[in-house]
Chains A and B, each alone.
Chain A
Amino acid sequence: MCLAHLHAVSDAYQQALFAGEIAPLSRLIHSTAAVSKSSRISVYQNNQSGTLKQVLAAAYPVCREIVGARYFQQLSAYHIKQHPSSDRNVDNYGDSFAATLERLLHIRAELDEMPYLADMARLEWLLHKAYYAADRISFDFTGFAKLSPEQQTQVQFRLAEDIELMNSSYAVCQLWQAHQNEQIQNDNNLPDFSYCSANPQYLLIQRKQWRCDVEIIDKPLFQLLMAIRQGKPLLEFAQYQENSSMDITGLIHSGMVSYVEPYDYD
Chain B
Amino acid sequence: MQTITSISGQAGVGLRTPHIPQILQQELAIPWLELLVDNWLAEGGLTRYYLSAIAERYPLTLHGVGLSLGGLEPLDLNYLAKIKAVMQQAGALWYSEHLCFSQLASHFSHDLLPLPYTEEVIQHVSERINRVQDFMGCQLLVENVSSYVTYQESDFSEGEFIAALVANTGCALLLDVNNFYVNQVNHSHDALSQIRLLPHTAVREIHLAGFADKGAYVIDAHNNPVASKVWELYETTLQLTGAVATLIEWDNDIPALEVLLDERAKAQCYLHQLNKDIDGQQQCA
* A:31-89 near B, CB below 8 Å: 32, 34-35, 37, 39-41, 43-44, 47-48, 51-52, 84-89
B149 near A30 with CB under 8 A, answer yes
Distance in angstroms between the alpha carbons of A6 and B152 in the assembled complex: 12
Query: CA–CA, A46 to B186, complex, Å?
Result: 17
Q: Is the CB of A43 within 8 A of B148?
A: yes
B43 and A6 contact, CB distance less than 8 A: no
- Comparing B18-26, B105-113, B255-263, the segment that makes contact with chain A is B105-113
- Are B120 and A44 closer than 8 Å at their CB atoms? no
With a cutoff of 8 Å between Cβ atoms, the chain A residues found around residue B59 in the complex are none
Q: Is B116 an interface residue (CB 8 A)?
A: yes
**Using Cβ atoms and an 8 Å threshold, which residues of chain B touch A198?**
none
CA distance A134 to B70 in the complex (A): 31
* CB < 8 Å A-B pair total: 139
Complex contact A17–B45 (CB within 8 A): no
A135-179 at interface with B (beta carbon < 8 Å): 135-136, 161-162
Bitwise, B75-93 to A at CB < 8 A (1) or not (0) is 0100100000000000000
Chain A residues with CB below 8 A from B275, complex form: none
Measured between beta carbons, the chain A residues less than 8 angstroms from B187 are 30, 32
**Do A3 and B120 touch (CB < 8 A)?**
yes
The answer to whether B116 touches A6 (Cβ under 8 A) is: yes
- Complex Cα gap A44–B112 (Å): 9
**A103 within 8 Å of B (CB atoms):** no
Query: Which of A7-15, A111-119, A221-229, A234-242 makes up part of the contact surface?
Result: A7-15
User: Is the CB–CB distance between A13 and B113 below 8 Å?
Assistant: yes
Would A10 and B101 count as touching, CB distance under 8 A? yes
Q: How far is the CB of B96 from chain A (nearest CB, A)?
A: 17
Which residues of B have CB within 8 Å of A162? 44-45
A1-B120, A47-B111 given; A9·B43 CB < 8 A: no
Residue B123 is within 8 A (CB to CB) of chain A in the complex? yes
Interface check A196, CB cutoff 8 A? no
Closest chain B residue, CB of each to CB of A131 = B45
Taking the nearest CB of chain B, how far is it from the CB of A69, in angstroms?
17
| B window 207-249: CB within 8 A of A | 216-217, 219
B219 touches A43 (CB 8 A): yes
Q: Are B48 and A135 in contact, CB atoms less than 8 angstroms apart?
A: yes
Point out the residue from A6, A44, A88, A91 that lies within 8 Å of B111, measured CB to CB: A44
**Which of A18, A41, A88, A210 has the most chain B CB atoms inside 10 A of its CB?**
A88
> In the complex the two chains form, is A51's CB within 8 Å of B111's CB?
yes
The answer to whether B107 and A86 touch across the interface, beta carbons within 8 angstroms, is yes
Q: Answer whether residue A207 sits at the interface, using C-beta atoms and an 8 A cutoff.
A: yes
Contacts of A134 in B (CB 8 A): 43-44
Question: A3–B43 contact, CB under 8 A?
Answer: no
Residue B194 CB within 8 A of the other chain: no
Excluding A17-B109, A28-B152, 20 further A-B contacts by CB distance (< 8 Å) are A1-B120, A3-B72, A5-B151, A6-B124, A10-B104, A30-B150, A30-B187, A34-B216, A40-B217, A41-B149, A44-B113, A44-B148, A48-B109, A48-B110, A85-B107, A86-B107, A88-B103, A89-B38, A207-B45, A210-B49
- Give A residues with C-beta under 8 Å from B: 1-3, 5-7, 9-10, 13-14, 17-18, 25, 28-30, 32, 34-35, 37, 39-41, 43-44, 47-48, 51-52, 84-91, 93, 131-136, 161-162, 207, 210
Listed from nearest, the 6 A-B pairs whose CB atoms lie closest are A135-B44, A134-B43, A210-B46, A132-B42, A134-B44, A29-B149
Could you list 23 A-B pairs, sorted by A, with CB under 8 Å? A3-B72, A3-B121, A5-B116, A6-B120, A13-B109, A13-B113, A14-B104, A14-B107, A28-B151, A30-B150, A32-B187, A35-B186, A39-B217, A40-B217, A44-B148, A84-B108, A86-B108, A88-B103, A132-B42, A132-B47, A135-B45, A162-B44, A162-B45
